Structure 1
Amino acid sequence: MTDRINGNFQLGDDLTGKRIVVAMSGGVDSSVVAALAARTGAETIGITLQLYDHGEAVGRVGSCCAGQDIRDARAVADRLGIAHYVFDHASRFKDSVMDVFADEYMAGRTPIPCVQCNMGVKFTDLLQLSRELGADCLATGHYVRRVATPEGSELHRAHDPARDQSYFLFATTQDQLDYLRFPLGDMPKTQVREIAEDMGLAVAFKPDSQDICFVPNGDYASVVRKLRPDADDDGEIVHIDGTVMGRHKGLIHYTVGQRKGLEIGGQAEPLYVIRLEPDAKRVIVGPKAALAVASASLRDINWIGGDYAGPVEVKVRSMSKPTLARLEGQKLEFHNPEFGVAPGQAAVFYHKERVLGGGWIESTDAVEQQWLAGVEV
């Protein structure tokens, strides 16, 4: 298959006569992508989606970082001399990302809103807008690599493992991958900032976002409470042996694997959240060994691994190391016990550097405790 746009385009590519749409968030990464695109000679169009208002999300009047981000994106576009458009998708973002985030917490699951956003608002809405504008591709500032092969495009981890965002893009379809470009996948962050500085972009030293965009202070519970007023219903904290240990202040304050904040003192060994039972409004706790998982049932699996049929490496958290597993239909069997696996998380499959796809964890199967003999927990 011949690319309509050369690879992931770099400064030396000549793409005169082509049209590139760049997803501009107002940060340094997407700003550098816009600059790289403009340098190729292609007609470059920046698009920013207004997705939320921090004041509405967290209840702080006058706090609207989304507005500042839009202003930063527009200033970069002006500096580069490219067109820039803003589209209001706040309602869609609330329905497809924020409400799902709140509902998942209420259901005792661990949500990953960044994946939901990429699946919908970004890689569906933005791709549609790009195609309507007649663009040859959509470029983003994600740190992943797109590798073109005779069999089609492949998604690979970023060159810099500290910046790799492939975990959050597992739901990218083959059709989307063929159209997308990720120019930063081979660069370390230091190089990206150097490019921004050399090009005179005001965002060159803008701090990276550290939290979920609509949870700027990391207080998930306050956001869920704002969206779901009944989120603070209390209930029992119960040991896995059936002993009632105390009461909790709402399931939204707890996630599987959590140790701190249980407010249970006087125990001989540390206790962790083993599972949440939303129907009974119970938090089940126990020793770390009780977190060991042998397998997980998945739903909505997205496969972009072509004909690959061997064992997979899997990540169940974005920052975790891949672990060996076997995928049989919707069932994921871990080679070794895995800890802290929770419904709602994503399981992302890899073969070496290539992303094969992934799915959502629906339920888990605990390891029989006698199997844990000799396993370091």
Structure 2
Amino acid sequence: AIHLGISHYVVDFRDQFDKSVITDFWGEYSKGRTPNPCIRCNQYIKFDFLMKRLKAFEADSLATGHHARVEYDTRSGRYLLKKGKDKKKDQSYFLYPITQKQLSRTLMPIGNFTKEEVREKAQKLGLSVAQKHESQEICFIPDNDYVRFLRQRIPKAFRSGPIVDRENRVLGQHEGIAHFTIGQRKGMGIAASQPLYVLSMQSDTNTIVVGPSDQLYEKTLLAAQVNLISKAKITKPLKVGAKIRYKHKEAKALLTPLDTDQILVEFERPQRAVTPGQAVVFYERNVVVGGGIIDKSEERNLSQTT
């Protein structure tokens, strides 16, 4: 703002951030789920509370620095959210909850450039952020010690409890379900003849269920709180590419609508460590069809080669 000679305003959304992002973060962990706070921040802070302030600042649009693109499709009459030019930095996964109304007032100029091109432009313009290091930490946990953060807020998630296999045989004790996520191997202190991984966290019984790697693979999942972008609705099975985590490779899947905000996702090949609380996002090539929160999954006994 100083460089451009324009006004800079600071808007205090700390209370909204606490209620919409932080409370959900520890609440999900207390249920044995693994949340993605960046998605909640986009959904509620940037594209809801902040967008509602546009009128107060006499602004027509909200411009963000996301590596993604917004385009209007004249054939469908809908705004499309597309992957950014820089496939390694693409952030469309985090933006699937955005509505048509919000997209109509959103600009994402960074999406048309690679990260290197952005840095070069910033350097030529003399911007101090040109060489700024990227942060991989959760913004409200600057030391990245999320366990300490959660322990202060949900001590009940750090009660000791049993570690069992799928036959309910007790293999050991854990020090709190919030220490774990599905697919985790380290930190269990179990002596076994083969490597064991977390298959699920059962908050109602404070139990961690573990098993060998081949029990981590699942072919189906239920997506809840679904938001569609490129289509107004899905009325019949639809083939897409689906991502169950930000860094997860896109996999071929079939979507079957169940009701207004739930979709059954069936993968062509079983996927490893499908994690409730994380987002599953659907694509048709570079276009985001939509996405939802992974609610539950099945068939953890399928092998990778099934």
TM-score between both structures, scaled by the size of structure 2: 0.93
1:191-340 → structure 2 map (5 Å cutoff): 191-265=117-191, 267-306=192-231, 310-329=238-257, 330-340=263-273
Distance (whole Å) between structure 1 residues aligned to residue 21 and residue 182 of structure 2: 21
What secondary structure sits across from 1:320 in the alignment?
coil
Distance (whole Å) between structure 2 residues aligned to residue 167 and residue 243 of structure 1: 38
What secondary structure sits across from 1:103 in the alignment?
helix
Distance (whole Å) between structure 1 residues aligned to residue 124 and residue 305 of structure 2: 55
Distance (whole Å) between structure 1 residues aligned to residue 18 and residue 285 of structure 2: 36
Q: Choose from 80, 90, 98 the match for 1:154.
A: 80
Q: Is the counterpart of residue 359 in structure 1 residue 292 in structure 2? A: yes
User: Which runs of 5 or more structure 1 residues have no equivalent in the other structure?
Assistant: 1-76
Give the C-alpha shift of residue 322 in structure 1: 0.7
The superposition leaves residues 231-280 of structure 1 with CA deviations (integer Å, 9 ceiling, x where unpaired) of 31110111122221111011110000111222112x22110000010011
Q: Choose from 83, 89, 97 the match for 1:171.
A: 97
The superposition leaves residues 309-354 of structure 1 with CA deviations (integer Å, 9 ceiling, x where unpaired) of 6301100000011111111112111111111001111110000000
- Tell me what 1:350 maps to: 283
User: Identity, % of aligned pairs?
Assistant: 39
The AA in structure 2 aligned to 1:306 is K
What secondary structure sits across from 1:203 in the alignment?
helix
Distance (whole Å) between structure 2 residues aligned to residue 239 and residue 218 of structure 1: 30
| CA separation of 1:152 and 1:246: change in aligned 2, threshold 3 A | same
The AA in structure 1 aligned to 2:268 is H
CA contact under 8 A between 1:296 and 1:361: conserved in structure 2? Answer: yes
- Tell me what 1:135 maps to: 59
| CA separation of 1:343 and 1:373: change in aligned 2, threshold 3 A | closer
The AA in structure 2 aligned to 1:347 is V
Give the C-alpha shift of residue 227 in structure 1: 2.0
Give the C-alpha shift of residue 148 in structure 1: 2.2
Give the C-alpha shift of residue 374 in structure 1: 4.1
Distance (whole Å) between structure 2 residues aligned to residue 145 and residue 374 of structure 1: 36
- Tell me what 2:69 maps to: 145
Runs of 4+ that moved beyond 6 A: none
CA contact under 8 A between 1:104 and 1:344: conserved in structure 2? Answer: yes
CA contact under 8 A between 1:324 and 1:334: conserved in structure 2? Answer: yes
Give the C-alpha shift of residue 373 in structure 1: 8.0
TM-score between both structures, scaled by the size of structure 1: 0.76
The AA in structure 1 aligned to 2:251 is T
- Tell me what 2:260 maps to: none
The AA in structure 1 aligned to 2:40 is Q
Q: Choose from 6, 17, 36 the match for 1:112.
A: 36
Q: Say which structure, 1 or 2, has more relative contact order (CA 8 Å, 6+ apart).
A: 2
The AA in structure 2 aligned to 1:134 is E
CA contact under 8 A between 1:139 and 1:181: conserved in structure 2? Answer: yes
Aligned length: 296
The AA in structure 1 aligned to 2:214 is A
Which structure has the larger Rg?
Answer: 1
Distance (whole Å) between structure 1 residues aligned to residue 267 and residue 91 of structure 2: 23
CA contact under 8 A between 2:79 and 2:229: conserved in structure 1? Answer: no
CA contact under 8 A between 2:222 and 2:297: conserved in structure 1? Answer: yes
The AA in structure 2 aligned to 1:324 is K
The 10-residue stretch of structure 1 (360-369 or 156-165) with the greater mean CA deviation from structure 2: 360-369
